[in-house]
Amino acid sequence: MEKPRIDQETCITCRACVGICPVEALKQFRREIVVDYDACTGCKICGKFCSAGAITFGSFDGAPVPEKKAIKTPSHLDKSFDIVIVGGGIAGLSTAIGALQSKQNLDILVIERKRVIGEDSNSSAGTWHFTLDMLPLTDSEKDEIILQKFTKLGLANEHDDVVIDNNGYYLGAIDLQRLLVILFRKVQKLGGQIEVNSFVESVERFDGGFEIGVVSKGEVYKISSKLIVDATGVDSTVSRRLGMHKSWGVEEIGVGAEYEMSWHGDSQTAWLIPLGYRNLGYAWVFPIGNNLARVGVAGPLQTLKKHKMNIQEELDKFLKYCAIVKENIGEDYSILAFKSGAYPVLEMSEDITRDQALRVGDSASQANPLLGEGIYYCINYGLKAGEALAKSNSGSEEDLEPYKAFVLKNKEKFETDKLGFGMDTDKVIENLQKNLDKLSERERQVLLEFLMPVEQDWKTRIRLSKKLLGTKETLKLFGSEIKKRL
Ligand SMILES: Cc1cc2nc3c(=O)[nH]c(=O)nc-3n(C[C@H](O)[C@H](O)[C@H](O)COP(=O)(O)OP(=O)(O)OC[C@H]3O[C@@H](n4cnc5c(N)ncnc54)[C@H](O)[C@@H]3O)c2cc1C
């Protein structure tokens, strides 16, 4: 079996391979990417995503890979499940909740490869104030999950900044791992089963359902199910096995990296900072209380690849780029954690249901393509997917249609609301307008830069600018741009 070798001289540590590896066999150790040959299954997907051409494949000559031992399916899994959900992230657990809330006594199994639900989440976990309301959570559970409520939006460029008061809680930083653990318990309470430390390596259609090959602690066994859900995130394991998805193209993936670090600024202001200067996407600062914040940058893999950029180095540069960030992290800042990962930047997939199989969350590219924000969509679409599955008799296209229709209905809105204010763009603009008179010229400039970080998205910028500043100002601002493109 051929496995990856990494040429450390060529590697630029963009970490796309780390984010994309379905078995987490690639890890960063200091500034190098290392391969865990025991975990590697030789799927070669990392090679495709290497932004520097540093990965080659050869026959494996390290320690012998332990043979996987085929065993009889453990008795608690030895039945035909109504629904198997592959992936115990936010999309998978929301789907399980949606199904179990709609129909009792469903035989549902969630299979997760991690040892612990929520372990090593790479998300910054900033999400809208209404996101958690979609889930069956008590107020005290929400209090446990929300780390910080934001009432202000800060926008900045290198020297200037502007803070817009939203007059209320609009966005929050949450503890995603805590949320996943709470959902895990709810799924169990509602009668669902969850198997952790279990990796789905194969999926085959079999006798009106699916035969799913699971590897757990070196043993392999089969599980059968009538319906299957791909909630494996960017890995899209199930969709690839079933031919619903070919695997991502380099232009369809973004890479983000963030530090959890010291922050002395106001904790109620979330910062969003365009990285137009590097032609990357956005940087963000989400304070999480206790003088800490999640500070991150993200951009298209294609850009990183083209300019041989290292995402962690971009993050380090960003800390020194922006006056407001430099000021608030202080001279002798400390970094508590580093995370990074890949996210889909493609428009939402329309091929989300096929003969008893369904895709949800990042696996179906249900994330905001500009900001990579996906938690809201994972929950919203996951709940709907679960409901459609629970009500389905056969998992036919017709049965799963309500889920598909719901997602596609939102698709158009989602695509015009690329700035990530989801359903609330109008409200945010309304708030900005109230503050506009009070802004100086320089602050307005910051606002406008915020609207134009992504070159190809000029239509959205013009639309938002017209709403925000009116036609006259927009013409002044974009006149030459419009002429150029006519
Ligand atoms: C750096 C970064 C920052 C982000 N910040 C934000 C943010 O601030 N706000 C926001 O809304 N979104 C953010 N996102 C996006 C958000 O985190 C994702 O949209 C969301 O987590 C996707 O959830 P998911 O359940 O679809 O996939 P995942 O969270 O990837 O979960 C998939 C699960 O499936 C498991 N799995 C995969 N393959 C298999 C297999 N073969 N067998 C068994 N299990 C398997 C994985 O272990 C994983 O637990 C960020 C993303 C990144 C990379």
Please state, in angstroms and rounded to a whole number, the distance separating the CA atoms of residues 29 and 17. Answer: 14
The amino acid present at 207, given as its one-letter code, is D
Three-class DSSP category at 121: coil
Nearest CA to ligand 1 atom 3: 123
Residue closest to 84 by CA, chosen among 186, 196, 182, 226:
226
Residue 135 contacts residue 94 (beta carbons within 8 Å): yes
**SS3 state at 483:** helix
Q: How many degrees, rounded to 5, is the angle at CA 315 between CA 313 and CA 319?
A: 115
DSSP letter at 209?
E
Q: What is the predicted pLDDT for the residue at 120?
A: 74
Q: Is 312 exposed, middle or buried (0-12, 13-18, 19+ CB in 10 A)?
A: buried
Q: pTM here?
A: 0.86
pLDDT one-digit tens code per residue, 434-464: 666 677 767 766 766 666 544 445 666 677 6
Gap between the Cα atoms of 372 and 378, Å rounded: 12
- What tokens were used for 428? 């945010």
165 Cα to the center of ligand 1, angstroms? 30
Between 447 and 163, residue with greater pLDDT: 163
Q: What is the pLDDT of residues 11-52, one digit of tens each?
A: 777 777 887 787 788 987 766 889 988 888 888 878 877 766
Backbone angles phi, psi at 388, to 5 degrees: -65, -40
Confidence of residue 85 (pLDDT cuts 50, 70, 90): very high
Taking the C-alpha atoms of residue 304 and residue 300, their distance in angstroms, rounded to an integer, is: 7
**Hey, which bits of 292-363 come out as E strands?**
292-300, 335-344, 353-354, 357-359
Q: Strands, E, within 175-252: which ranges?
A: 193-195, 199-206, 209-216, 219-230
Q: What number does the ligand 1 atom closest to the CA of 198 have?
A: 43
Phi-psi region of 112 (alpha: psi -120 to 50; beta: other; left: phi over 0): beta
Q: Is the pLDDT of residue 274 over 60?
A: yes
For residues 79 and 102, give the distance between their C-alpha atoms in angstroms, rounded to a whole number.
Answer: 22
Q: Ligand 1: which residues within 6 Å by Cβ?
A: 22, 86-92, 111-114, 122-127, 199-200, 231-233, 235, 237, 256, 258, 296, 340-341, 343, 361-363, 367, 372-376, 378
**CA of residue 47 to ligand 1 center, whole Å:** 21
pLDDT bin (cut points 50, 70, 90) of residue 96 is very high
Show the domains of the chain with their CATH numbers: 2-59 (3.30.70.20), 75-121+178-245+349-414 (3.50.50.60), 147-167+251-344 (3.30.9.10), 423-485 (no CATH)
CA distance 271 to 322: 11
